[in-house]
Structure formats: structure tokens, C-alpha cells
Amino acid sequence: MSALAFEEVSYQYPSEDFDIIDRLSFQVEPGSFHCIIGASGCGKSTIFRMTNGLLAPKGGTIRVDGTPIAGRKGYCGYMPQKDLLFPWRSVGENVALPLEIQGGYSRKERRERAEEALADVGLPGCGDKMPQELSGGMRQRAAFARTMLTGSDLLLLDEPFSALDFLTRISMQEWLLDQWRRHHKTILFITHDVEEALFLSQSVLVVESTPIRALTEIPVPASDPRDRSCLKDPAMVELKEQLIALLRKQVAV
């Protein structure tokens, strides 16, 4: 059974006169890691907003673990580009937010679960700090810990590292692959960075045109576990150029 399935899904923004997503179908296998790439404004985040239930499709069905998402809650974790940690709450209170929303956890339990999640992402003992006291990479780890506490097996990560400096970004990529291997989650990750997509993905899902009628799945010829040296393999270098050419073509249209 697929972790996520779009079946003939369409979406039209009320202010627009066309469907930005037009009868789109695709499937994602449980435990897989895919990056979605495509030109700016092509509709990648719209796919996430429908998957997480923020936008209701005009037509078609979205299934998570085989069941339509309509009316469901807590079936996916979503991490936007900006970490959106509330500045007036401690890091621990931010991380524990999904438990607060779900209900049924005492303050002590929430605190303990948040501390465990923070330790798991390499931020032990940071629960009492305020978000402003953390670096950009630490904030993204805290935001990831909060996403993990949703308890969902499907994680939607929308350009989570785009605001980070290059070195922090590549260490966060390695860190994320490690998290994925340890937790066996299904991850969809939007990025504009073709190298990031190749390093992280088992296959890259390319948006070739808008309206989005299909995602072109391109397998990545690198084994797991992998390190950054895989990016120097001739097959990867060639694929990188192919992907850049595909994206350029879209911008030129």
C-alpha cells in the first residue's frame, strides 16, 4: 500500500481561472525519500498544502496509507521553509506543540517527550532555551523535532534548509538522511537545489510544466547509505546536468 497516493487530483485557487493542479496522479512508497523539484511558482507547495489538508482539492482523492485524508487529522507532519518557532514559547514548548494540539498529555509528559525529541535531534537540554538563542541549524533541528512529535509516518518538508548557509546546509542534509534511516519515515522534500535533491533522494520527482498534470520520477543512481562523494560519480554529474536542463526548459516556456 502506498504511503501517499494522489488520484486524479485537481486544484484551482479561487482568484485564478485555471487548475494549477490538473488531474494529477502519483504514488509514494512507504519509507521512501523523494525530493520534488520544479521552477518557482509551478505549484510544488500547493501539492503539500493539499496533502496536509490546508487546501481541499477541487476533484480527485488523496490517500495516506490507503485511506482518503478527508476529515482526518495527524496523518502527516509538515515543516515549512521558515521554522515558525513561536518566539514567546520556549524551545521545549514549541516542540511539544503537536502533543498540546492532540490533547491527552500532562504538562510533565509533554515536557519529557519534548526533551527526548530534542535529544534525538542533537539538542539535549535545550528545552528551556528561547528560539532566539538557537542558531539557524539548531532552529531547523528543533522544528524537525516538533514535526517528529506529530507521530506521523509521512513528513512533508518544504525547502527546510534554504535559508541556511552552505556548510550548515550540507551538514543538515547528512543529518536528515541519518534521521530518515533511523526512523523509517516517508519523506517528501521540496527543494530548488538540484545537488540537494540528488544527495537526499532515492528518486527525484520533477515538475516539468504548469498546470501540474504529472510528476516525472527520475531514479537516483546512488546506493544507501551514501556520502557526499556520490555527487562526483559520473552518472550523478550527468543526471545533475539533465535535471538542470529540464528546469531551464520550464523557465524558458
Ligand X SMILES: Nc1ncnc2c1ncn2[C@@H]1O[C@H](COP(=O)(O)OP(=O)(O)OP(=O)(O)O)[C@@H](O)[C@H]1O
- Per CB under 6 A, residues contacting ligand X are 13, 15-16, 20, 38, 40-46
Q: 93: which 3 cell numbers? A: 514548548
122 vs 211, beta carbon nearer ligand X: 211
C-beta atoms surrounding 100 within 10 Å: 13
> Minimal distance in Å, beta carbon 22 to ligand X?
13
51 vs 90, beta carbon nearer ligand X: 51
> Minimal distance in Å, beta carbon 71 to ligand X?
23
123 vs 207, beta carbon nearer ligand X: 207
User: If DSSP codes are grouped into helix, strand and coil, which group holds residue 27?
Assistant: strand
| Residue whose beta carbon is closest to ligand X | 45
139's enclosing H/E stretch is helix 136-148
> Minimal distance in Å, beta carbon 16 to ligand X?
6
> Minimal distance in Å, beta carbon 87 to ligand X?
24
64 vs 156, beta carbon nearer ligand X: 156
> Minimal distance in Å, beta carbon 38 to ligand X?
6
The residues near 186 (Cβ < 8 Å, ≥ 6 apart) are: 3, 4, 28, 29, 30, 31, 32, 33, 153, 154, 155
User: If DSSP codes are grouped into helix, strand and coil, which group holds residue 172?
Assistant: helix
Place of cell 514549541: 94
16 vs 234, beta carbon nearer ligand X: 16
Please list the residues that pair with 78 across neighbouring strands: 156
45 vs 140, beta carbon nearer ligand X: 45
130's enclosing H/E stretch is none
- Rg of the chain over Cα atoms, rounded to whole angstroms, equals 18
Q: 120: which 3 cell numbers? A: 534525538
> Minimal distance in Å, beta carbon 47 to ligand X?
7
Among 139, 131, 84, 93, which Cα is nearest to 113's? 93
